[in-house]
Amino acid sequence: MSKRKPKETVEFVIRLQDKERKLLDELVTAINLERYAGAAEKLGLRKALDNPLAMIAWFTSVATFIEMLGIDTPIITPIDAGKIFKDPDGATGWAGFWDVNLQKDWERFKAGIGID
């Protein structure tokens, strides 16, 4: 059974004034914020904001992931430990970590992060 073609087409045009456009923009912003809040809930950010230790752990884990991608962050992460505890001869890992001259390590650490 074939469908009949329409006899006419009716076009409706909705024109918004400045106030209506502003209200529509605010509605879209509210809907987007609700979506982002849902994403933050799934990532555990809202629960982490209630507990300071959980918040530090959450931000450190995010910064560690970002630094694994090759982007340096201002937050000190385990990836930065290799840069901080590197021996002047270039040894890293256990050889660089077990240096027994703590004064030398402290001076290197201060120079590495820019403390006078």
How many CA atoms are closer than 13 Å to the CA of 87, on its beta-carbon side? 13
Which tens digit of pLDDT belongs to each residue from 75-112? 888 777 766 666 556 555 555 555 456 677 778 778 87
Look over the chain and give the mean of its residue pLDDT values, rounded to a whole number: 78
Question: Would you say residue 45 lies in a domain?
Answer: yes
Is this model's pTM higher than 0.75 or not? no
Range of the domain at 46: 16-50
Cβ 28 vs Cβ 36: under 8 Å = no
Question: Would you say residue 8 lies in a domain?
Answer: no
pLDDT of residue 17: 92
Question: Would you say residue 9 lies in a domain?
Answer: no
CA distance 107 to 86: 12
Domain count, the chain: 1
- The larger pLDDT score, comparing residue 113 to residue 10, is at 10
Question: Would you say residue 78 lies in a domain?
Answer: no
Question: Would you say residue 93 lies in a domain?
Answer: no
Backbone angles phi, psi at 49, to 5 degrees: -70, -20
Two tokens at 6? 């329409």
Question: Would you say residue 33 lies in a domain?
Answer: yes
Residue 41 has pLDDT above 80, yes or no: no
Question: Would you say residue 21 lies in a domain?
Answer: yes
